[in-house]
Amino acid sequence: MSDDPKQGGGTTAAARPLGLVMATALVVGNMIGSGVYMLPASLAPYGWNVIPAWGITIAGSLAIAAVFAGLCRAHPKTGGPYVYVREAFGRDLAFYVAWAYWISLFVGNGAIAVAAVSYLSAFVPVFATDARLSTAATIALVWTMTAINISGTRNAGWVQLIATVLKVIPLAAVVMIAAMAAPHGDLAFPDPHKPEIGLAAITTAGTLTLWAFLGLESATVPAGKVHRPEKTIPRATLGGTALTGLIYLLACSAVVLLLAPEVAAHSAAPFAEVIGRYWGPDAAHVVAAFAMISAIGALNGWVLLQGEMPAAMAAGGVFPAVLGKLNAKGVPVRAHLLSSSLVTVLLLLNASRTTVSLFTFVAVLATTASLVMYVAVAAAAIKLRAVRPWIAVAAAIYALWALYGAGPEANLWGAVLILAGVPVWWIMRGRKLATAPST
């Protein structure tokens, strides 16, 4: 294997600062964002349909994780999804998959940053009333995370590890509370007949649980920064996905059982309400603090990816070569600056109250690109024989099922998002950068 920082292989731990613990924290931390704190309220109306929905989502996510694990063993290079699709189907299709995924990264980061500052408003109320000040704080947060990532991958890894440990605390707390309440009969189980268990309800609930798993591929993108990526990344991807699924299932179920489904469904802050019954009236601030930490940790991890993806595309010859240049610490500084600048533009647009709903809509649409990427990667695994065919087929079927659950409007606009890359693709072909050597 080469010692090039963009390649996989046997470089030293110092050159590849992300070990198994930090790589797993990247996977878990990117999946567990601020959205989990509202997930119990979203799932409560579906009653027992949530159980098979969680089962399908966890099984489907593990199938996708297994696909990424198998592909990484064979192709442990920076870029993850882009590299796998390129090896299987060539640069053209790989460009569109990576383009859509990159857009989903920086657009999603804008939404995560907004969520983090919204939780901060619990401590600094002016952020809730002054849109300009709130936007300024959000932009400052994005660039702070960018600076941490530019300072070195190890620094970003430590931030991710600490944030991941902290964000799990309130989730573990509600599980412990439910375990203590169970012997006293204080749990409220959903009515098995309201609503009836049905395929439509399971599909809708499954779509809601799916959003919580986006990011399971996180460790594959910065493969050049991971120590022994062909072994570490598969373990981190599968282990992190399984651990996150278990945390979600236990924590969300505990909240619903402690509040009762009809209460959880109408709760603006279900975790705060549960913890408040045991920790007192200041629970809202406690949970807001942890939710803010959770969002900041997720933002840190996704900022790492939004820099690594365009750098990998540049190294593959489908993006300007300048974005693939690394500094002395092996960080693609220019790619980070470009991605965070685009996030800043989106946030400035979001400063207008009239654009908030549009911005939120675009952020939701961006997740569709991740599903398209999962389908493409599953197909690549079949062609490259990276995993057993039935695993890749199961992953593809699950991703297609999730796309169906997202609805036709999201899929239509997701297609528009992907087609927006056509002009860039033609420009790069015109410059003959698409014929650059493979990495």
Average the pLDDT over each of 2-6, 27-31, 289-293, 401-405 and give the range with the smallest value. 2-6
Give me the number of domains the chain comprises. 1
Half-sphere exposure of 297 (CA within 13 A, CB side): 31
pLDDT tier, 267 (very low <50, low <70, confident <90, very high otherwise): low
Q: Is residue 218 part of a domain?
A: yes
What pLDDT sits at residue 144? 94
CA 371 to chain centre: 12
Q: Is residue 220 part of a domain?
A: yes
What pLDDT sits at residue 393? 95
The amino acid at 215: G
What pLDDT sits at residue 238? 92
User: What token pair was written down for 58?
Assistant: 């966890």
- 3-state DSSP call for residue 29? helix
Q: How much is the average pLDDT of 123-132?
A: 78
What pLDDT sits at residue 30? 86
Using alpha carbons, list the distances in angstroms from residue 110 to 61, 71, 101, 302.
Answer: 25, 30, 15, 10
Residue that is written with structure tokens 């050597």 in the block:
437
Q: Is residue 128 part of a domain?
A: yes
Calpha distance 303→34 (Å, rounded):
16
Q: Is residue 9 part of a domain?
A: no
Question: Cis omega before residue 195 (within 30°)?
Answer: yes
Tell me phi and psi for residue 97, to 5 degrees: -65, -45
Calpha distance 187→114 (Å, rounded):
35
Residue that is written with structure tokens 């590890």 in the block:
161
User: What token pair was written down for 199?
Assistant: 């395929």
pLDDT tens sequence across 182-224: 665 565 565 555 666 777 788 777 777 877 788 888 888 888 8
Q: Is residue 2 part of a domain?
A: no
Q: What is the CATH number of the domain that holds 340?
A: 1.20.1740.10
What pLDDT sits at residue 381? 94
Average pLDDT of the residues of the chain: 80
pLDDT tens sequence across 332-387: 999 999 999 988 987 887 665 433 454 445 555 666 778 888 999 999 999 999 99
Q: Is residue 201 part of a domain?
A: yes
**Helix H or strand E encompassing 94:** helix 91-120
Q: What domain range includes position 267?
A: 20-435
Q: Is residue 12 part of a domain?
A: no
pLDDT tens sequence across 88-115: 999 888 898 888 888 888 888 887 888 7
User: What token pair was written down for 253?
Assistant: 């179920």
Residue 137 has pLDDT above 60, yes or no: yes
CA end-to-end distance (rounded Å), the chain: 12
Calpha distance 211→95 (Å, rounded):
24
Buried b (16+ CB within 10 A) or exposed e, 245-262: bebbbbbbbbbbbbbebe
Using alpha carbons, list the distances in angstroms from residue 204 to 54, 290, 293.
Answer: 11, 28, 29
What pLDDT sits at residue 363? 52
Residue that is written with structure tokens 């003959």 in the block:
432
Q: Would you say 29 and 243 are in contact if contact means Cβ atoms under 8 Å apart? A: no
Q: Is residue 15 part of a domain?
A: no
Q: Structure pTM?
A: 0.80
